[in-house]
Structure 1
Amino acid sequence: MKKNSIIAALFVATAGLLLSPLSGANQDRVVLQTDVIETLLVPETADALSWQRVFPEQLSMPRGAVRAGAKGCAIFSFNINSDGEPTNITTEKVVPSFGLRRHAKNYLESWRFEPKSEDGGIEESVLLRLDFCTGGATQEEATAICEYQATLPCSK
């Protein structure tokens, strides 16, 4: 009987440790912020483009990229068709090559554009760089990190 009582007491003590929160656990946890910067390479300015991106309104890291911890840059070429959808998306360069390529391409496929003029839009070719950044305890810090990263070459 004594052996069973000791085992039962150990079980209750262990279960109590597992179920009760540790004091101070996760109180100092820092959640890093993310940001995405879009740099239009061709045409050189957004004014020269006959389309404007309407979805997403603000760029954010794709969920899959955040979960994978992916960060880096990607350069894509694509066309905007007469319906305002990106087509013929081609990955020109991705750094790092693992983890970011699929997430970035899926993200870009979800974009929608509207023509700037009422005449409608014509199919147009675009070369675009996207920088995916993680870092900083505040959104301002993440944006500053991403703005710096966007000035660097998209290479290893």
Structure 2
Amino acid sequence: MRHRLPAAALAMTAALLLTGCGSDSGSGSAAELSVKGAYIPQPVSDTMAAGFLTVVNGGGTKDRLTSVTSAAARSVTLHETVGSSMEEVASLTVPAHGQLVFKSGGNHLMFEMLKRKPVQGETVTVELHFAASDPVEVEIPVESATYNPKTGH
């Protein structure tokens, strides 16, 4: 009887450890991406527009936004502001348990070679592509040219 109790305890401990490992990898270790606060100010130009949004990562692993596609433009590029100049970049990091913020005067999306100028009240569909996570589709509302979000992103 003494030999069975330690073996049963060992089996139970191993099962609990395996269960713990399994549930840990499913809850919070992978990137968990969502988008909030998306908008496009109605563009002045017929060929270019800027887009702003916040990518939220509720997971425990960072990811990288590698590209954005949209049927509204021939090209959507990622830009970051460094000092007083903007630079096109190939990707941007979405930190674990953090946010990647695109806001006026900072990181932003550039819709280039617009197929049609979007107007206030419409939405523009984009697909965000990541290095490790599945793409995220977002319906971005077109706001007035002077729109300034109250949250400040």
Is the TM value for this pair above 0.5? no
Query: TM-score, normalised to structure 1's length?
Result: 0.29
Structure ID, larger Rg? 1
TM-score where L is the length of structure 2:
0.29
Higher RCO structure, 1 or 2 (CA under 8 Å, sep 6+): 1
